[in-house]
Structure 1
Amino acid sequence: MKPEFTSVLLDNKQLDYDQNPLWERISAYQIDQAHVIIPFSRKLAQTEGWTRRFCLLAIEEYKKFVYLCCISKNGASPSVVVDKVWHMHLLYTTEYWKEFCPKILERELHHFPNVGGINDYHKHQDWYLETLKLYINIFRQNPPEVFWRIPKEIIPFLLPENGSKIKSPGQFTWKKTFEKLHSKVFNYLHHRSVLK
Protein backbone atom coordinates (compact mmCIF):
# COMPACT_ATOMS: atom_id res chain seq x y z
CA MET A 1 0.00 0.00 0.00
CA LYS A 2 1.25 3.46 -0.88
CA PRO A 3 1.87 5.89 1.99
CA GLU A 4 -0.53 8.75 2.62
CA PHE A 5 0.21 11.94 0.69
CA THR A 6 2.64 14.38 2.30
CA SER A 7 4.66 17.25 0.82
CA VAL A 8 8.07 16.27 -0.48
CA LEU A 9 11.29 18.01 0.53
CA LEU A 10 14.32 17.26 -1.61
CA ASP A 11 18.02 17.70 -1.06
CA ASN A 12 20.42 19.36 -3.53
CA LYS A 13 21.60 16.00 -4.89
CA GLN A 14 18.05 15.17 -5.99
CA LEU A 15 17.37 18.69 -7.28
CA ASP A 16 20.48 18.58 -9.49
CA TYR A 17 19.10 15.60 -11.35
CA ASP A 18 21.55 15.76 -14.26
CA GLN A 19 24.44 15.23 -11.79
CA ASN A 20 22.67 12.45 -9.91
CA PRO A 21 24.02 8.91 -10.57
CA LEU A 22 20.48 7.53 -10.46
CA TRP A 23 19.35 9.88 -13.25
CA GLU A 24 22.50 9.12 -15.25
CA ARG A 25 21.65 5.39 -15.11
CA ILE A 26 17.98 5.96 -15.97
CA SER A 27 18.81 8.35 -18.79
CA ALA A 28 21.39 5.99 -20.32
CA TYR A 29 19.09 2.94 -20.01
CA GLN A 30 18.21 1.49 -23.42
CA ILE A 31 14.73 0.03 -23.25
CA ASP A 32 15.02 -1.15 -26.87
CA GLN A 33 17.26 -4.21 -26.93
CA ALA A 34 19.47 -4.41 -30.01
CA HIS A 35 19.21 -8.17 -30.56
CA VAL A 36 15.40 -8.43 -30.84
CA ILE A 37 13.35 -8.28 -34.04
CA ILE A 38 10.52 -6.23 -32.53
CA PRO A 39 12.01 -3.83 -29.97
CA PHE A 40 10.03 -2.37 -27.09
CA SER A 41 9.30 0.95 -28.83
CA ARG A 42 7.95 -0.78 -31.96
CA LYS A 43 5.72 -3.07 -29.87
CA LEU A 44 4.46 -0.03 -27.92
CA ALA A 45 3.79 1.83 -31.18
CA GLN A 46 1.84 -1.11 -32.60
CA THR A 47 -0.15 -1.63 -29.39
CA GLU A 48 -1.07 2.04 -28.88
CA GLY A 49 -1.22 3.20 -32.52
CA TRP A 50 1.55 5.74 -31.91
CA THR A 51 4.36 6.71 -34.27
CA ARG A 52 7.91 5.71 -33.42
CA ARG A 53 8.82 9.33 -32.63
CA PHE A 54 5.90 9.71 -30.21
CA CYS A 55 6.89 6.41 -28.53
CA LEU A 56 10.49 7.51 -28.09
CA LEU A 57 9.37 10.80 -26.54
CA ALA A 58 6.87 8.96 -24.31
CA ILE A 59 9.69 6.66 -23.14
CA GLU A 60 11.74 9.72 -22.18
CA GLU A 61 8.77 10.99 -20.13
CA TYR A 62 8.52 7.55 -18.54
CA LYS A 63 12.19 7.79 -17.51
CA LYS A 64 11.51 11.16 -15.87
CA PHE A 65 8.51 9.67 -14.08
CA VAL A 66 10.61 6.75 -12.81
CA TYR A 67 13.21 9.17 -11.47
CA LEU A 68 10.49 11.10 -9.63
CA CYS A 69 9.17 7.83 -8.19
CA CYS A 70 12.60 7.00 -6.83
CA ILE A 71 13.44 10.36 -5.25
CA SER A 72 10.08 11.06 -3.65
CA LYS A 73 9.08 9.25 -0.47
CA ASN A 74 5.51 9.38 -1.83
CA GLY A 75 6.47 7.91 -5.18
CA ALA A 76 4.83 9.55 -8.18
CA SER A 77 1.60 9.23 -10.10
CA PRO A 78 1.85 8.70 -13.87
CA SER A 79 -0.12 10.35 -16.64
CA VAL A 80 -2.22 8.15 -18.93
CA VAL A 81 0.52 8.07 -21.61
CA VAL A 82 3.32 7.37 -19.13
CA ASP A 83 1.20 4.67 -17.49
CA LYS A 84 0.83 2.93 -20.87
CA VAL A 85 4.62 2.86 -21.26
CA TRP A 86 4.98 1.55 -17.69
CA HIS A 87 2.36 -1.17 -18.26
CA MET A 88 4.20 -2.32 -21.38
CA HIS A 89 7.52 -2.31 -19.50
CA LEU A 90 5.98 -4.42 -16.73
CA LEU A 91 5.04 -7.03 -19.35
CA TYR A 92 8.74 -7.54 -20.01
CA THR A 93 8.96 -9.19 -16.61
CA THR A 94 12.52 -10.52 -16.77
CA GLU A 95 13.91 -7.23 -18.09
CA TYR A 96 11.91 -5.16 -15.60
CA TRP A 97 12.49 -7.22 -12.43
CA LYS A 98 15.95 -8.67 -13.06
CA GLU A 99 17.64 -5.84 -14.98
CA PHE A 100 15.87 -2.48 -14.72
CA CYS A 101 14.88 -2.47 -11.04
CA PRO A 102 18.01 -3.99 -9.46
CA LYS A 103 20.69 -2.64 -11.83
CA ILE A 104 19.33 0.74 -12.94
CA LEU A 105 17.06 1.83 -10.09
CA GLU A 106 18.80 -0.26 -7.43
CA ARG A 107 15.39 -0.84 -5.85
CA GLU A 108 12.00 -2.33 -6.66
CA LEU A 109 9.38 -0.09 -8.23
CA HIS A 110 5.84 -1.39 -7.85
CA HIS A 111 2.68 -0.25 -9.61
CA PHE A 112 -0.17 0.82 -7.31
CA PRO A 113 -3.36 1.20 -9.39
CA ASN A 114 -6.39 3.15 -8.26
CA VAL A 115 -8.67 0.68 -6.44
CA GLY A 116 -11.76 2.86 -6.83
CA GLY A 117 -13.91 4.99 -4.60
CA ILE A 118 -13.93 8.71 -3.96
CA ASN A 119 -11.22 8.58 -1.27
CA ASP A 120 -8.80 6.72 -3.53
CA TYR A 121 -9.64 9.09 -6.39
CA HIS A 122 -8.77 12.15 -4.27
CA LYS A 123 -5.62 10.47 -2.97
CA HIS A 124 -4.42 9.75 -6.52
CA GLN A 125 -5.32 13.30 -7.59
CA ASP A 126 -3.16 14.65 -4.76
CA TRP A 127 -0.28 12.40 -5.82
CA TYR A 128 -0.69 13.44 -9.46
CA LEU A 129 -0.60 17.16 -8.57
CA GLU A 130 2.46 16.56 -6.39
CA THR A 131 4.09 14.68 -9.27
CA LEU A 132 3.53 17.61 -11.63
CA LYS A 133 4.93 20.10 -9.10
CA LEU A 134 7.93 17.82 -8.56
CA TYR A 135 8.41 17.49 -12.33
CA ILE A 136 8.51 21.30 -12.71
CA ASN A 137 10.83 21.68 -9.71
CA ILE A 138 13.28 18.95 -10.75
CA PHE A 139 13.38 19.23 -14.55
CA ARG A 140 12.88 23.01 -14.59
CA GLN A 141 10.32 22.77 -17.36
CA ASN A 142 6.59 22.25 -17.68
CA PRO A 143 5.37 18.71 -18.24
CA PRO A 144 4.51 18.48 -21.97
CA GLU A 145 0.71 18.57 -22.28
CA VAL A 146 0.76 15.89 -24.95
CA PHE A 147 2.09 13.42 -22.35
CA TRP A 148 0.72 14.87 -19.10
CA ARG A 149 -2.81 16.06 -18.33
CA ILE A 150 -2.48 19.56 -16.86
CA PRO A 151 -5.29 20.18 -14.33
CA LYS A 152 -6.30 23.74 -13.51
CA GLU A 153 -4.92 23.37 -9.97
CA ILE A 154 -1.38 23.13 -11.35
CA ILE A 155 -1.57 26.25 -13.57
CA PRO A 156 -0.19 28.61 -10.87
CA PHE A 157 2.94 26.40 -10.66
CA LEU A 158 3.68 26.32 -14.40
CA LEU A 159 6.75 28.08 -15.74
CA PRO A 160 6.39 30.76 -18.44
CA GLU A 161 6.16 29.13 -21.89
CA ASN A 162 9.12 29.37 -24.23
CA GLY A 163 6.99 28.87 -27.33
CA SER A 164 8.13 25.36 -28.24
CA LYS A 165 5.29 22.87 -28.21
CA ILE A 166 5.28 19.15 -28.87
CA LYS A 167 2.67 17.93 -31.32
CA SER A 168 -0.53 16.37 -30.02
CA PRO A 169 -0.85 12.56 -29.99
CA GLY A 170 -3.25 12.74 -32.95
CA GLN A 171 -0.51 14.29 -35.06
CA PHE A 172 1.75 11.31 -34.34
CA THR A 173 -0.55 8.56 -35.63
CA TRP A 174 -0.01 6.78 -38.93
CA LYS A 175 -3.66 7.33 -39.82
CA LYS A 176 -3.33 11.12 -39.57
CA THR A 177 -0.09 11.06 -41.56
CA PHE A 178 -1.74 8.96 -44.31
CA GLU A 179 -4.84 11.18 -44.37
CA LYS A 180 -2.71 14.32 -44.76
CA LEU A 181 -0.63 12.75 -47.53
CA HIS A 182 -3.76 11.44 -49.29
CA SER A 183 -5.36 14.89 -49.06
CA LYS A 184 -2.28 16.59 -50.53
CA VAL A 185 -2.08 14.09 -53.40
CA PHE A 186 -5.83 14.44 -54.09
CA ASN A 187 -5.61 18.26 -54.08
CA TYR A 188 -2.57 18.19 -56.35
CA LEU A 189 -4.19 15.83 -58.87
CA HIS A 190 -7.52 17.66 -58.72
CA HIS A 191 -5.79 21.02 -59.23
CA ARG A 192 -3.88 19.65 -62.25
CA SER A 193 -7.08 18.25 -63.85
CA VAL A 194 -8.87 21.61 -63.41
CA LEU A 195 -6.02 23.43 -65.14
CA LYS A 196 -6.22 21.19 -68.24
Structure 2
Amino acid sequence: MKPEFTSVLLDSTQLDYLRNPLWKRISDYQIDQAELAIPFSRKLAQTEGWMRRFCLLAIEEYKKFVYLCCVSKNGASPSIVVDKVWHLHLLYTTEYWKEYCPNILERELHHFPNVGGINDYNKHQDWYLETLKLYIHVFRQNPPEVFWRIPKEIIPFLLPENNKIKVTEQFTWKKTFENLHSKVFKYIHGKSVYK
Protein backbone atom coordinates (compact mmCIF):
# COMPACT_ATOMS: atom_id res chain seq x y z
CA MET A 1 0.00 0.00 0.00
CA LYS A 2 1.25 3.46 -0.86
CA PRO A 3 2.12 5.62 2.20
CA GLU A 4 -0.14 8.46 3.29
CA PHE A 5 0.64 11.84 1.73
CA THR A 6 3.09 14.13 3.52
CA SER A 7 5.05 17.08 2.18
CA VAL A 8 8.37 16.06 0.68
CA LEU A 9 11.73 17.74 1.08
CA LEU A 10 14.46 16.67 -1.30
CA ASP A 11 18.19 16.83 -0.68
CA SER A 12 20.60 18.74 -2.91
CA THR A 13 21.63 15.67 -4.93
CA GLN A 14 18.00 14.99 -5.83
CA LEU A 15 17.32 18.64 -6.65
CA ASP A 16 20.40 18.88 -8.87
CA TYR A 17 18.87 16.34 -11.22
CA LEU A 18 21.25 17.00 -14.13
CA ARG A 19 24.14 15.68 -12.03
CA ASN A 20 22.18 12.88 -10.44
CA PRO A 21 23.21 9.42 -11.78
CA LEU A 22 19.58 8.24 -11.58
CA TRP A 23 18.43 11.05 -13.86
CA LYS A 24 21.30 10.35 -16.24
CA ARG A 25 20.21 6.70 -16.53
CA ILE A 26 16.53 7.60 -16.96
CA SER A 27 17.28 10.34 -19.46
CA ASP A 28 19.61 8.15 -21.54
CA TYR A 29 17.21 5.19 -21.50
CA GLN A 30 15.89 4.35 -24.97
CA ILE A 31 12.35 3.07 -24.63
CA ASP A 32 12.21 2.42 -28.40
CA GLN A 33 14.12 -0.84 -28.71
CA ALA A 34 15.72 -1.38 -32.11
CA GLU A 35 14.91 -5.10 -32.29
CA LEU A 36 11.14 -4.57 -32.04
CA ALA A 37 9.13 -4.49 -35.28
CA ILE A 38 6.86 -1.81 -33.81
CA PRO A 39 8.81 0.51 -31.50
CA PHE A 40 7.23 1.66 -28.24
CA SER A 41 6.59 5.21 -29.48
CA ARG A 42 4.79 3.93 -32.60
CA LYS A 43 2.70 1.52 -30.50
CA LEU A 44 1.83 4.43 -28.19
CA ALA A 45 0.82 6.57 -31.18
CA GLN A 46 -1.37 3.78 -32.56
CA THR A 47 -2.95 2.97 -29.20
CA GLU A 48 -3.72 6.55 -28.19
CA GLY A 49 -4.18 8.15 -31.61
CA TRP A 50 -1.36 10.62 -30.91
CA MET A 51 1.07 12.16 -33.38
CA ARG A 52 4.64 10.83 -33.20
CA ARG A 53 6.11 14.12 -31.94
CA PHE A 54 3.51 14.27 -29.17
CA CYS A 55 4.41 10.68 -28.20
CA LEU A 56 8.11 11.45 -28.01
CA LEU A 57 7.47 14.51 -25.82
CA ALA A 58 5.04 12.51 -23.65
CA ILE A 59 7.78 9.90 -23.14
CA GLU A 60 10.11 12.69 -21.96
CA GLU A 61 7.45 13.81 -19.46
CA TYR A 62 7.11 10.18 -18.35
CA LYS A 63 10.86 10.10 -17.66
CA LYS A 64 10.53 13.22 -15.48
CA PHE A 65 7.62 11.63 -13.66
CA VAL A 66 9.61 8.44 -13.04
CA TYR A 67 12.48 10.48 -11.62
CA LEU A 68 10.08 12.23 -9.23
CA CYS A 69 8.65 8.83 -8.22
CA CYS A 70 12.10 7.59 -7.34
CA VAL A 71 13.38 10.62 -5.41
CA SER A 72 10.22 11.38 -3.43
CA LYS A 73 9.39 9.23 -0.42
CA ASN A 74 5.71 9.59 -1.41
CA GLY A 75 6.33 8.65 -5.00
CA ALA A 76 4.48 10.77 -7.55
CA SER A 77 1.10 10.89 -9.21
CA PRO A 78 1.00 10.99 -13.02
CA SER A 79 -1.06 13.18 -15.29
CA ILE A 80 -3.53 11.43 -17.59
CA VAL A 81 -1.08 11.58 -20.52
CA VAL A 82 1.88 10.36 -18.46
CA ASP A 83 -0.26 7.59 -16.99
CA LYS A 84 -1.08 6.35 -20.50
CA VAL A 85 2.65 6.14 -21.30
CA TRP A 86 3.28 4.31 -18.02
CA HIS A 87 0.41 1.85 -18.60
CA LEU A 88 1.80 0.91 -22.00
CA HIS A 89 5.32 0.58 -20.57
CA LEU A 90 3.98 -1.78 -17.90
CA LEU A 91 2.58 -4.00 -20.67
CA TYR A 92 6.15 -4.63 -21.83
CA THR A 93 6.46 -6.73 -18.68
CA THR A 94 9.77 -8.50 -19.29
CA GLU A 95 11.56 -5.31 -20.33
CA TYR A 96 9.92 -3.25 -17.55
CA TRP A 97 10.57 -5.67 -14.66
CA LYS A 98 13.83 -7.32 -15.77
CA GLU A 99 15.61 -4.40 -17.47
CA TYR A 100 14.12 -1.01 -16.66
CA CYS A 101 13.43 -1.35 -12.94
CA PRO A 102 16.58 -3.22 -11.85
CA ASN A 103 19.12 -1.66 -14.24
CA ILE A 104 17.84 1.88 -14.86
CA LEU A 105 15.87 2.71 -11.71
CA GLU A 106 17.69 0.24 -9.48
CA ARG A 107 14.40 -0.38 -7.69
CA GLU A 108 10.88 -1.57 -8.39
CA LEU A 109 8.33 1.02 -9.43
CA HIS A 110 4.75 -0.11 -8.88
CA HIS A 111 1.55 1.50 -10.10
CA PHE A 112 -1.03 2.40 -7.43
CA PRO A 113 -4.33 3.14 -9.19
CA ASN A 114 -7.19 5.04 -7.61
CA VAL A 115 -9.49 2.38 -6.16
CA GLY A 116 -12.48 4.72 -5.93
CA GLY A 117 -14.28 6.72 -3.31
CA ILE A 118 -13.88 10.28 -2.12
CA ASN A 119 -11.05 9.48 0.33
CA ASP A 120 -8.95 7.83 -2.35
CA TYR A 121 -9.75 10.63 -4.80
CA ASN A 122 -8.62 13.26 -2.27
CA LYS A 123 -5.46 11.29 -1.48
CA HIS A 124 -4.57 11.05 -5.18
CA GLN A 125 -5.37 14.75 -5.66
CA ASP A 126 -2.95 15.60 -2.83
CA TRP A 127 -0.27 13.42 -4.43
CA TYR A 128 -0.88 15.04 -7.81
CA LEU A 129 -0.51 18.56 -6.36
CA GLU A 130 2.68 17.50 -4.57
CA THR A 131 3.96 16.01 -7.83
CA LEU A 132 3.40 19.32 -9.65
CA LYS A 133 5.17 21.24 -6.86
CA LEU A 134 8.09 18.81 -7.04
CA TYR A 135 8.17 19.09 -10.83
CA ILE A 136 8.49 22.88 -10.58
CA HIS A 137 11.04 22.69 -7.80
CA VAL A 138 13.24 19.99 -9.35
CA PHE A 139 13.06 20.81 -13.07
CA ARG A 140 12.82 24.58 -12.53
CA GLN A 141 10.05 24.92 -15.08
CA ASN A 142 6.29 24.74 -15.09
CA PRO A 143 4.74 21.44 -16.14
CA PRO A 144 3.62 21.77 -19.77
CA GLU A 145 -0.16 22.16 -19.79
CA VAL A 146 -0.49 19.93 -22.84
CA PHE A 147 0.81 16.99 -20.73
CA TRP A 148 -0.17 18.01 -17.18
CA ARG A 149 -3.55 19.25 -15.94
CA ILE A 150 -2.86 22.45 -13.96
CA PRO A 151 -5.42 22.77 -11.15
CA LYS A 152 -6.11 26.21 -9.68
CA GLU A 153 -4.51 25.15 -6.37
CA ILE A 154 -1.11 24.96 -8.05
CA ILE A 155 -1.21 28.45 -9.61
CA PRO A 156 0.56 30.14 -6.67
CA PHE A 157 3.49 27.73 -7.14
CA LEU A 158 3.95 28.30 -10.89
CA LEU A 159 7.05 30.10 -12.03
CA PRO A 160 6.45 33.71 -13.13
CA GLU A 161 6.95 33.25 -16.86
CA ASN A 162 3.95 30.93 -17.14
CA ASN A 163 1.73 31.62 -14.15
CA LYS A 164 -1.19 32.86 -16.23
CA ILE A 165 -3.93 30.41 -17.00
CA LYS A 166 -4.77 30.49 -20.66
CA VAL A 167 -8.48 31.05 -21.05
CA THR A 168 -9.58 30.32 -24.56
CA GLU A 169 -13.11 30.85 -25.74
CA GLN A 170 -14.39 27.57 -27.05
CA PHE A 171 -15.49 27.69 -30.66
CA THR A 172 -19.10 26.73 -31.26
CA TRP A 173 -21.34 27.25 -34.25
CA LYS A 174 -24.03 28.64 -31.95
CA LYS A 175 -21.71 31.43 -30.67
CA THR A 176 -20.57 32.17 -34.20
CA PHE A 177 -24.17 32.41 -35.45
CA GLU A 178 -25.22 34.58 -32.47
CA ASN A 179 -22.29 36.96 -33.07
CA LEU A 180 -23.05 37.18 -36.78
CA HIS A 181 -26.79 37.64 -36.15
CA SER A 182 -26.05 40.41 -33.65
CA LYS A 183 -23.82 42.26 -36.13
CA VAL A 184 -26.40 41.92 -38.94
CA PHE A 185 -29.19 43.16 -36.61
CA LYS A 186 -27.10 46.17 -35.59
CA TYR A 187 -26.20 46.91 -39.21
CA ILE A 188 -29.83 46.76 -40.38
CA HIS A 189 -30.99 49.07 -37.62
CA GLY A 190 -28.18 51.55 -38.21
CA LYS A 191 -26.21 50.91 -35.05
CA SER A 192 -22.44 50.73 -35.12
CA VAL A 193 -21.17 47.19 -35.30
CA TYR A 194 -17.67 48.08 -34.13
CA LYS A 195 -16.87 49.89 -30.92
Q: Where on the TM-score scale, by shorter chain, does this alignment land: which range?
A: 0.7 to 0.9
The 5 Å alignment of 1:154-169 reads: 154-161=154-161
Provide, for residues 125-174 of structure 1, a one-character-per-residue CA deviation record: whole Å limited to 9, x for no partner.
Answer: 000000000000000000000000000000000002269xxxxxxxxxxx
Partner of 1:40: 40
The 5 Å alignment of 1:100-119 reads: 100-119=100-119
Partner of 2:176: none
Residue 100 of structure 1 aligns to a residue whose secondary structure is helix
Q: In 1, Cα distance between the equivalents of 2:35 and 2:113?
A: 32
The 5 Å alignment of 1:11-160 reads: 11-160=11-160
Segments of structure 2 that go 5 or more residues without pairing to the other structure are 164-195
Q: In 1, Cα distance between the equivalents of 2:10 and 2:86?
A: 24
Provide, for residues 91-127 of structure 1, a one-character-per-residue CA deviation record: whole Å limited to 9, x for no partner.
Answer: 0000000000000000000000000000000000000
The runs of 4+ residues in structure 1 deviating greater than 2 Å are none
How much identity, in percent, do the aligned residues show? 88
Q: In 1, Cα distance between the equivalents of 2:158 and 2:43?
A: 33
- Give yes or no for contact 2:114–2:121 (8 Å, CA) kept in 1: yes
TM-score after normalising by structure 1? 0.82
Considering Cα pairs closer than 8 Å and 6+ residues apart, tell me whether 1 or 2 has the greater RCO.
1
Aligned CA RMSD, in angstroms, stands at: 1.0
How many residue pairs are counted as aligned between the two chains? 163
Q: In 2, Cα distance between the equivalents of 1:36 and 1:123?
A: 38
- CA shift for structure 1 position 36: 1.5
Residue 161 of structure 1 aligns to a residue whose secondary structure is helix
TM-score after normalising by structure 2? 0.82
Q: In 2, Cα distance between the equivalents of 1:98 and 1:15?
A: 28
Q: In 2, Cα distance between the equivalents of 1:40 and 1:156?
A: 36
Segments of structure 1 that go 5 or more residues without pairing to the other structure are 164-196
Instruction: State which structure, 1 or 2, has the greater radius of gyration over its C-alpha atoms.
Output: 2
